[in-house]
Amino acid sequence: MATVLKEPSRTFNEYLLIPGYSGMDARPENVSLRTPVVRFRKGEEPALSMNIPLTSAVMQAVSDDNMAVALAKEGGISFIFGSQSVESQAAMVRRAKRSKAGFVPSDSNLRPDATLQDVLDLKAEKGHSTIAITEDGTADGKLLGIVTSKDYRVSRMDPATKVTEFMTPFDKMVYGRDGITLSEANDLIWDNKVNQLPIIDDNQRLTAFVFRKDYDSHKEHPLELLDADKRYIVGAGINTRDYEERVPALIDAGVDILTIDSSEGYSEWQAVTLKWIRDNYGDKVKVGAGNVVDADGFNFLADCGADFIKIGIGGGSICITREQKGIGRGQASAVLEVAQARDEYFKKTGVYIPICSDGGIVYDYHMTLALAMGADFIMLGRYFARFDESPSAKLMVNGSYVKEYWGEGSARARNWQRYDMGGDAKLKFEEGVDSYVPYAGSLHDNVQMSLNKVRSTMCNCGSLNIQDFHKNAKLTLVSAVSIVEGGAHDVILKEVNSNSSNGR
Ligand code: IMP
């Protein structure tokens, strides 16, 4: 007979934290959010930790090289999406690893045959006013000129005007050469009174920009996550099909950590993939696995050698796996059970395997709950998709700015490989939707705000680090009526508040 779990499947919304005693030192500035990312033995230091417990989802609409750099600056890790060719994913990793603090890969590029209208469209989409004109329109093509808002007057010019007629051409530009230090680049910016300095290689190909406004960048990012060579730490997603080709290419590009990206990870496919990595690279290559939602799944992947294990099936905002396939589990129940399994595994073997709560974070306090329930770190898709740094398009819909956000199981994401999927395409079903999310501005401002809330709640609970929080957190289930009590109620709101459930 089938087993039926006694407890219903619960979500973050059904829990609250009960404050604990907090001393006078319990202040947000004293809270450390440093957390291990990969397995380690009792008494040893993990080979990789993060300074904040956030990772960005392995998704086309979320994690590219630009996002990877932005999140590493804050102290977290992006896992660059794997639903693209091996070459283009490796190129993204390479670009992110090449970018040094203060040197930014160009995210707004056009070809010389583009028009003023193309400039205006790109500026609206990316939010940046500096546009590189390269021979092939790529971020590392041969640099022919740049366009900034000083170069055109929208009211006086025909939108069909070619950029070559108004750009600053290469021979009139101030630029730096590859290998220049940040302080030399800044001297050129100040001496020449320019706002940006393109950096080129020996073949006149663009490698990066240094912006005047980023002058104090490293001071603004005290938690940035760097490798031994002061390059940003970068992750990437892999799958259980083409790993023999993809893993070596990503490693060659300099990736620091991998994760097997799958909606359901308690499988022989993951065991075989992990074994192949261990056979070929030993412990040198770090790789997470998942997703699982119970202790059995965790123990299986732990024994297979996963460096960290991801939790979550069906809770993602764009996910329809539960409706389509009837599998999954409320994210809170899944995290609580897997955290207990992780602790038992540690007691039994002396090996600590970090766990990652993946998907389903709606409010900032859900991050705090996931950590309280035992997660070492969190993976988020919708949250990061809303920011300037995500790769998707920013559009105006019904008078508000939105960004596009689509699931990896949606037809849109799967298109990249539609020709080699095999079988009858008509019989494939989708596990994700294509959607919009409200545009929310810069990653830096939002992450600072969200984590200040997390730190503040940890103080209320008397915990100054995540490890203590795991031990000390006291949670309570909430009844349906107390959820109503928790939002603004019995008042007439003057305006819709996005922080209140009434305003969602
Ligand atoms: P979110 O933070 O709630 O938006 O969830 C993001 C997570 O949803 C990702 O990290 C994946 O684990 C999961 N996910 C991404 N795409 C799909 C999909 O198409 N179907 C189901 N789950 C998905």
Average pLDDT on 358-377 reads 98
Backbone angles phi, psi at 256, to 5 degrees: -95, -30
Q: Report the candidate in 355, 211, 250 with the shortest Cα–Cα distance to residue 292.
A: 355
From 91-100, 301-310, 351-360, the region with the lowest mean pLDDT: 91-100
Q: Which has the higher per-residue pLDDT, 54 or 126? A: 54
- Residue 228's pLDDT is 85
pLDDT beyond 70 at 418: no
Q: Report the candidate in 70, 44, 45 with the shortest Cα–Cα distance to residue 56.
A: 70
Instruction: Name which residue sits closest to atom 10 of ligand 1, judged by CA.
Output: 57
Largest separation between any pair of C-alpha atoms in the chain? 79
From 94-108, 180-194, 255-269, 381-395, the region with the lowest mean pLDDT: 94-108
Q: What separation in Å is there between the alpha carbon of 374 and the centre of ligand 1?
A: 20
- Residue 499's pLDDT is 54
Instruction: Name which residue sits closest to atom 13 of ligand 1, judged by CA.
Output: 316
pLDDT in tens, 135-145: 999 999 999 99
Quote the percentage of the chain above a pLDDT of 90: 78
pLDDT beyond 80 at 498: no
Average pLDDT on 117-133 reads 89
DSSP state of 9: P
pLDDT band at 251 (very low <50, low <70, confident <90, very high): very high
> Alpha-carbon Rg of the chain, whole angstroms?
24
Contact 230, 209 (CB under 8 A): no
Give the residue, out of 71, 83, 263, with the most ligand 1 atoms within 8 A of its beta carbon, to mutate for a pocket test.
263
Write out the H or E segment, with its range, that includes residue 382.
helix 382-385
Can you spell out the DSSP letters for 322-376?
A: HHHH-----HHHHHHHHHHHHHHHHHHHSEE--EEEES---SHHHHHHHHHTT-S
Average pLDDT on 469-485 reads 91
Average pLDDT on 368-393 reads 97
User: Among the atoms of ligand 1, which is closest to the Cα of residue 58?
Assistant: 10
pLDDT beyond 80 at 365: yes
User: Among the atoms of ligand 1, which is closest to the Cα of residue 261?
Assistant: 12
pLDDT in tens, 155-199: 899 999 999 999 999 999 999 998 888 888 889 999 999 989 999
Q: Is 177 a catalytic residue?
A: no
Q: What separation in Å is there between the alpha carbon of 304 and the centre of ligand 1?
A: 24
Give ligand 1 pocket residues (Cβ under 6 A): 57, 59, 263, 312, 316-319, 321, 358-361, 379-383, 407-410, 431-432
Quote the percentage of the chain above a pLDDT of 70: 94
pLDDT in tens, 327-341: 999 999 999 999 999
pLDDT beyond 60 at 425: no
Q: What separation in Å is there between the alpha carbon of 403 and the centre of ligand 1?
A: 16
Q: What separation in Å is there between the alpha carbon of 381 and the centre of ligand 1?
A: 6
Q: How many helices (H) and strands (E) does the chain have?
A: 16, 24
Residue 210's identity, in one-letter code, is V
- Residue 157's pLDDT is 92
- Residue 277's pLDDT is 98
Query: Tokens 């604990």 label which residue?
Result: 20
Q: Give the list of residues 6+ apart from residue 353 with CB closer than 8 angstroms, or none.
A: 39, 298, 302, 306, 307, 308, 309, 342, 345, 346
Tokens of 298: 């965790």
pLDDT beyond 90 at 422: no
Instruction: Name which residue sits closest to atom 8 of ligand 1, judged by CA.
Output: 316
Q: What separation in Å is there between the alpha carbon of 294 and the centre of ligand 1?
A: 18
pLDDT in tens, 70-93: 999 999 999 999 999 999 999 999
User: Among the atoms of ligand 1, which is closest to the Cα of residue 291?
Assistant: 12
Exactly one of 304, 319, 356, 459 is catalytic; which is it? 319
Q: What separation in Å is there between the alpha carbon of 412 and the centre of ligand 1?
A: 14
pLDDT beyond 80 at 99: no
User: Among the atoms of ligand 1, which is closest to the Cα of residue 409?
Assistant: 19
| Three-class SS state of 288 | strand
From 150-164, 286-300, 435-449, 475-489, the region with the lowest mean pLDDT: 475-489
Q: Is 418 a catalytic residue?
A: yes
Mean pLDDT of the chain: 92
- Residue 502's pLDDT is 41
Exactly one of 27, 41, 153, 418 is catalytic; which is it? 418
Q: Report the candidate in 483, 484, 459 with the shortest Cα–Cα distance to residue 472.
A: 459
Alpha helices in 180-320 (DSSP H): 182-191, 217-220, 243-253, 268-281, 295-303
